[in-house]
Amino acid sequence: MKAVLKMKAVLLPSALLVALQLPVSSSAAADKIHHSTRASGSHHTGVASYYSKPQRLASGGRFNPSAMTAAHKTLPFGTRVRVTHARNGRSVDVRINDRGPFVAGRIIDLSKAAAQAIGMGGTARVKMTVLGR
């Protein structure tokens, strides 16, 4: 009779996989890419959206649609980011205080005030530059 070995899938950091000489999976590679966006001066281009309904923030407190803030999936709370509208060149500096966006293909959710500052309605293609903390 053969013994059946059951193993749980475990996600390991890409550095550990490299040290163990194991292949780096696409999820580990994606994790490495997200961490590289944390460096001050790094750029990312994609689609931005905005939100304006009062709600609880992932960082605590209440959302203020008049503040120059934004939501990002991985950047630490308090990180300052410059968002530049690709069509009109207008830019705004925002502080990350929430998590999101949770819609595929979007890189950042701006507060209503930040979206208005760059002339954005609905969604827009933007360049996001990490400024630091």
Q: Show the domains of the chain with their CATH numbers.
A: 41-132 (2.40.40.10)
Q: What is the mean pLDDT of residues 10-22?
A: 41
Please state, rounded to an integer, the average pLDDT across all residues of the chain.
79
What is the predicted pLDDT for the residue at 133?
A: 86
Per-position DSSP letters for 42-95, written without gaps between them: -EEEEEEEEE-S--B-TTSSB--TTSSEEE-SSSPTT-EEEEEETTT--EEEEE
What percent of the chain has a predicted confidence (pLDDT) above 90?
60
- Residue 131's SS3 state is strand
Place of tokens 């925002």: 94
Burial class (CB in 10 A: 0-12, 13-18, 19+), 78: exposed
Q: pLDDT tens for residues 31-81?
A: 333 444 567 788 999 999 999 888 899 998 899 999 999 999 999 999 999
